[in-house]
Amino acid sequence: MAEILPLRDAVARLVHDGDTVALEGFTHLIPHAAGQEIIRQRRKDLTLVRMTPDIVYDQLIGAGCARKLVFSWGGNPGVGSLHRFRDAVQNSWPVPLEIEEHSHAGMANRYVAGASGLPFAVLRGYTGTDLPKHTDTIKQITCPFTGEQLAAVPALNPDVSVIHAQRADRAGNVQIWGLVGVQKEAVLAAKRSLVTVEEVVDELEPVPGQLILPSWAVTAVAEAPHGAHPSYAQGYYDRDNEYYEYWDSIGRNRDSFEQWLNEKVFGMEAAK
């Protein structure tokens, strides 16, 4: 059964130095508050996994929390580049960043395999591309019935997956609606999981398109109102598109980034 904890305690208990950590949320419901709490607790040597390492991972990478990034698309969506990610890859700043690069289809299937308790997944993918030359977690497999060649990718089983959801009840059952991305798979694939929510409520009223994660499939739930900002939480608040533009100006330079980090992350320590 999921334990309901303050965010600070949940991160302290679930996320350790050296862990493989997946923060998921496909544009919608990105767990920004949890990401910043991980920075605030100065985690190191993380292997960060995420299909779209947008602002949330630009922050973690710029803060030096990550040793490695497993991903499929690393941009600031609708704006352009992730400057901290580029600085880490191109200049090893603030620390070198190893990368393991896939396509979305590959990453999604790696989570599916992880959630399914299988060691690998099969897909029609990567054919003719240069990705298999640089990513050793892409192999070929032969269909035992037709002889056809397909791609195989290994399961992702993060030490901890973190997602954001709209609501949980007091028993720790989680309710998500709108775009649900790979959140269910990320949670089910992980050894431990943390779900931050907009609010904890007495009763989860059914919502069309909802996805429910039963309490017994989640390790911890933490209330984090507005915890997806600048991403959005359908039914709660809209995407802050201007913040994505603003982030471009912050992330572009090491100085402005470090100032942001001190003011907006470490400076908020007492408040949590």
The residues of the shown chain that bind other proteins, judged by CB under 8 A, are: 1, 26-28, 51-52, 71-75, 77-78, 81-82, 85-86, 89-90, 101-105, 108-109, 111-112, 115-118, 123-131, 133-134, 148-149, 173, 178-182, 184-185, 188, 209, 211-214, 216-217, 232, 234, 238-239, 241, 244
What are the φ/ψ torsions at residue 13 (nearest 5 degrees)? -80, -35
State the Cα–Cα distance between residues 81 and 83, nearest whole angstrom: 6
Residues 176-215 that bind its own copies (CB under 8 A): 206-210
Q: Quick one: CA dihedral 191, 194, 195, 201, positive or negative?
A: positive
Q: Which of 184, 183, 135, 192 is nearest to 158 (CA)?
A: 192
C-alpha angle 46/159/170, rounded to 5°?
115
From the list 27-35, 39-47, 62-70, 132-140, the region that binds its own copies by CB under 8 A is 132-140
Q: Give yes or no for residue 234 binding its own copies (CB under 8 A).
A: no
Instruction: Tell me which of its own copies, other proteins, none is bound by residue 193, counting a contact when its beta carbon lies within the kind-specific cut-off of 5 to 8 angstroms.
Output: none
Strand ranges inside 32-79, DSSP E? 46-50, 66-71, 75-76
Among 18, 78, 96, 119, binds its own copies (CB under 8 A): 119
Residue owning tokens 């533009």: 245
96: three-class secondary structure by DSSP: coil
Contact status: 141 vs its own copies (CB under 8 A): yes
Is 104 a binding residue for its own copies by CB under 8 A? The answer is no
Q: Per rule CB under 8 A, is residue 150 in the interface with its own copies? A: yes
Q: Does 144 bind its own copies (CB under 8 A)?
A: yes
Contact status: 118 vs its own copies (CB under 8 A): yes
Question: Between the CA of residue 132 and those of 67, 73, 230, what are the distances in Å?
Answer: 21, 16, 34
**Binding status of residue 95 toward its own copies by CB under 8 A:** no
Q: Are 190 and 22 in contact (CB under 8 A)?
A: yes
Residues that bind its own copies (CB under 8 A): 117-124, 137, 139-141, 143-146, 148, 150, 152, 154, 206-210
